[in-house]
Amino acid sequence: MMFTAYSLYDIVEMKKPHPCKGRTKRFQIVMVGADIKIRCLGCGNLILMSRADFNERVRRVIESPGKLMPPPGAN
Ligand SMILES: [Zn+2]
């Protein structure tokens, strides 16, 4: 099983695009806890899923800003 290392505010590519107008596969991680919250970079919608679901759906990390300040509207 593949394991992708990720952290808060990383930009990730998912295996499937979000079914919105933008149809982007790019999401940003905005919360990491027992569950993970990601935001669609196409429409801005927030999606909450378990870590197990996320691990299964993520393809790769595109960008990892590290300890930068949270982007506006992250919460
Ligand atoms: Zn979307």
Cα–Cα distance, 66 to 26 (Å, whole number): 17
C-alpha of residue 17 to centroid of ligand 1, in Å: 8
Determine the distance separating the centroid of ligand 1 and the alpha carbon of 48, expressed in angstroms: 13
Question: 4 C-alpha vs ligand 1 centroid, how far in Å?
Answer: 22
Using CA atoms, how far apart are residues 35 and 53, in angstroms rounded to an integer? 9
pLDDT tens for the chain, residues 1 to 75 = 456 789 999 999 999 999 999 999 999 999 999 999 999 999 999 999 999 999 999 999 999 986 555 555 655
Distance (Å, whole) CA 26 – CA 15: 9
62 C-alpha to center of ligand 1: Å?
A: 17
The Å distance, Cα 11 to ligand 1 centre, comes to 14
Q: What is the DSSP letter of 21?
A: T
Tokens of 31: 């919360």
